[in-house]
């Protein structure tokens, strides 16, 4: 817990923005980011981002927390432990409700809520969004920015390392971009493993930087010790080879012990 408190003191005063609003990356960040996409030689970041900001010039930015307010945020991950939790009403009661990837609400409202203010995704996890929801692109690779450009132009990108939707529904005026430099910061200063951070930990640390009160839901294994999504009807465990689920969950527990987040563990006692 002392390590987490030190990390918060050192890093939460950092000038690294959680959102990207700049066409340039530092050479150090470019070097880090290129390692995430070893089989693709991307075009220059500046050229792509100039097109991105031309298409999505939205002014909705949350760069930091504010001493004059208390912005409450629910970060809702996708663990099966949400089933039977009845968290829905308290999740919806937050100012911001952040969801990620293929998260579903229809049919699960009692346990996961129905509101979504910010939905974090990348091409391989993209779904249609409501008009009042902000799309937050988490760019693990340059192709992710190129895909979003394609979605609203010619629809030409239909595959990355696998098939992706050529079109999705979302409000073009409510688009935000996760900062690649902040992704680097999360991996190097928090998870500290060779594995790329999961969307779950990226969204949680994003929330800690822009919210005054953070409550986390749907993280960790279910009551059978399985890692799978609450809408899945499959047996067995979720494949976690790309991420370090145990390490990331321990970070959540330490943040909870330090009083920095409210960690709601869901239906794990039955």
Q: Which residues of 31-46 are buried (b: 16+ CB within 10 A; e: fewer)?
A: ebbeebbeeeebeebe
Q: Is 219 domain-assigned?
A: yes
Q: What is the pLDDT of residue 241?
A: 43
Domain membership flag for residue 258: yes
Mean pLDDT by 10 residues, the chain (270 residues): 53 68 86 81 88 82 64 95 95 97 97 98 97 95 95 96 95 93 92 90 93 94 76 62 72 93 79
* Contact predicate 198/183, CB 8 Å: no
Alpha-carbon gap, residue 14 to 222, rounded angstroms: 35
Number of compact structural domains in the chain = 1
Is 112 inside a domain boundary? yes
Q: Which domain holds residue 253?
A: 2-264
pLDDT digits (tens, 9 = 90+) for 218-247: 998 776 766 789 998 765 555 444 556 788
**pLDDT tens sequence across 150-191:** 999 999 999 998 999 999 999 999 999 999 999 999 999 999
User: Taking a C-beta distance cutoff of 8 angstroms, is the pair 182, 17 a contact?
Assistant: yes
Q: Which two tokens stand for residue 152?
A: 């609203």
Its sign, for the CA torsion 4, 6, 7, 9, is: positive
Q: Is residue 147 part of a domain?
A: yes
Answer whether residue 189 is part of any domain: yes
Answer yes or no: is 37 within a domain: yes
Q: How far apart, in whole angstroms, are the C-alpha atoms of residue 117 and residue 174?
A: 10
Q: Record the tokens describing residue 48, joined without a space.
A: 């792509």
Q: Which residue has the tokens 């432990």?
A: 81
Domain membership flag for residue 165 = yes
What's the CA gap between 8 and 24, in Å, rounded?
Answer: 26
Q: What is the CATH number of the domain that holds 69?
A: 3.90.1480.20
- Residues with Cβ within 8 Å of 194's Cβ and at least 6 positions away in sequence, in order, are none
pLDDT of residue 150: 97
Q: What is the pLDDT of residue 13?
A: 45
Q: Which residues contact 196 (CB under 8 A, 6 or more apart)?
A: 36, 140, 187, 242, 243
Q: Is residue 17 part of a domain?
A: yes
């Amino acid at each position: 817990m002392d390590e987490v408190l030190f990390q918060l003191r050192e890093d939460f005063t950092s000038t690294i923005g959680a959102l990207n609003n700049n066409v340039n990356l530092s050479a150090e960040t470019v070097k880090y980011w290129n390692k995430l996409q070893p089989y693709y030689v991307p075009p220059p970041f500046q050229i792509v981002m100039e097109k991105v900001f031309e298409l999505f010039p939205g002014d909705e930015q949350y760069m930091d927390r504010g001493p004059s307010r208390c912005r409450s945020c629910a970060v809702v991950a996708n663990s099966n432990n949400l089933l039977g939790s009845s968290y829905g009403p308290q999740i919806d009661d937050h100012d911001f409700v952040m969801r990620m990837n293929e998260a579903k609400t229809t049919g699960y409202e009692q346990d996961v809520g129905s509101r979504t203010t910010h939905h974090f995704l990348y091409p391989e996890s993209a779904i249609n969004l409501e008009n009042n929801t902000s799309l937050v692109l988490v760019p693990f690779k340059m192709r992710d920015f190129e895909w979003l450009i394609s979605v609203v132009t010619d629809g030409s990108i239909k595959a990355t390392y696998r098939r992706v939707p050529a079109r999705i529904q979302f409000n073009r005026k409510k688009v935000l971009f996760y900062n690649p430099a902040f992704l680097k910061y999360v991996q190097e200063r928090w998870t500290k493993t060779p594995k790329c951070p999961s969307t779950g930990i990226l969204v949680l640390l994003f929330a800690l930087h822009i919210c005054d009160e953070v409550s986390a839901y749907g993280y960790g294994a279910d009551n059978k010790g399985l890692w799978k999504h609450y809408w899945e009807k499959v047996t067995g465990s979720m494949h976690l080879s790309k991420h370090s689920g145990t390490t990331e969950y321990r970070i959540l527990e330490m943040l909870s012990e330090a009083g920095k987040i409210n960690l709601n563990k869901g239906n794990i006692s039955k």
